[in-house]
Structure 1
Amino acid sequence: MTSPSDVQPAAAAPARGDEKAVVLVGPMGAGKTSIGRKLAKALAATFRDTDAIVVREHGPIPELFRTRGEQTFRELERHAVAEALAAGGVVSLGGGAVLDPRTREDLRAHRVVFLTVALPAVRGRIAGANRPLLEGADPVAEWRRIFDERRPLYEEVAGLEIDTSTGPISGVVARIADWVRQSAEEGSR
């Protein structure tokens, strides 16, 4: 494992035309990973989940929070985000990745979709989840507080916002894929 001082975020590659990544941002439980996998298939692109990159390289996220702290996790997350953006394709960011101003700046070069979800729908999605930031007496209230705090950042970076509270995932995927294709056509003119 690397120490926080060893982590040097890779610079996100400049994106041009179809080299832009399609990036999914949003709160815990919005469906970024599930939708991202299906979207990658629909676009014939690779899929990268920054939380999965952190886990693969450094171990389980709850363990990182316990043993190394949130600040170290955020540094490792920043490195994973830069790596995923540079590789392109479809990228799912962890819910807190937008807290880093460098990440928000990097996202300007990509197609970013804000996946949102209503509180009643997210209740079932986060129940029993092993999410360090939701530990405590009322995980739903904590989710709401975190979402309210981060929402302006998601809105700042996104070119498209979609609510995932209801309806089939396939509809969300189709809508994003159409938007990506349209923005690629507009970018090539």
Structure 2
Amino acid sequence: MTEPALVLIGPMGAGKSSIGKKLARSLGTTFTDSDGVVVQAHGPIEKLFADHGEARFREIERAAVSEALARGGVVALGGGAVLHPATQQDLAALRVVLLTVSAQTIASRLRGTTRPLLQGDDPLARWRELAESRRELYERLATVRFDTSTGPIQDIVDAIAAWAQEATS
């Protein structure tokens, strides 16, 4: 039987993918990135957005999230994946880690971004809008929260791993 997923959610650039990979290694389990599942099956997210729009992308993303959650292990969701009601329902029964990050920290992480929802004159302002519009949803879905703004990534991974092991014992 597959172990229930430990899910990482949060705004773009919070470190879900990089922390998720290290966390899975630390916990001795698998890692799945829902955005990676989308890219593998359908090509670059930027192109999906350009060719088919956000609504179609969200449908494709939902299927990828469902597949990733079924695999178990550590699962990183794209920033907007939590918008889908079926995903919200799925997350209610799982351990969900909200990764937060400050706007000051995110500014350096977004330089040269190709993320479709951050295109335009002021990617940081757009990031702030998106993060704020989703904040209550992230908080409602989360079991626990960790900030990724400062400190070595391994310290954050270790803290989440310790929490996860405590939560299952």
User: Does the alignment reach a TM-score above 0.5?
Assistant: yes
Within 5 Å, give how 1:142-153 maps onto structure 2: 142-153=126-137
- Secondary structure at the counterpart of residue 23 of structure 1: strand
Which has the higher Rg, Structure 1 or Structure 2?
A: 1
Partner of 2:104: 120
Is 2:44 the counterpart of 1:56? no
Looking at structure 1, the residues matched to 115 and 46 of structure 2 have their Cα atoms a distance apart, in angstroms, of 7
Q: Structure 1 residue runs of 4+, over 3 Å off?
A: none
Alpha-carbon distance between aligned partners in 1 of 2:130 and 2:30, rounded to the nearest angstrom:
29
Residues 61-140 of structure 1: pairs in structure 2 closer than 5 A: 61-140=45-124
Gaps of 5+ in 1: 1-15
2-structure distance, mates of 1:131, 1:87? 26
Partner of 1:45: 29
Aligned equivalent of 1:8: none
Q: What's the RMSD between the two structures over aligned residues?
A: 1.1
| Aligned-partner Cα distance in 1 for 2:56–2:29 | 30
**What is the alpha-carbon distance in structure 2 between the residues aligned to residue 69 and residue 40 of structure 1?**
32
2-structure distance, mates of 1:141, 1:98: 21
What count of residue pairs does the alignment treat as equivalent?
169
Deviation track 1:101-142 (CA, whole Å, cap 9, x = no partner) reads 110110012110000000000001011010000011100000
Shift of 1:20: 1.7
Identity fraction in percent = 56
Normalising by the residue count of structure 1, what TM-score does the alignment of the two structures yield? 0.88
* Whole-angstrom CA distance in 2 between matches of 1:27 and 1:92: 11
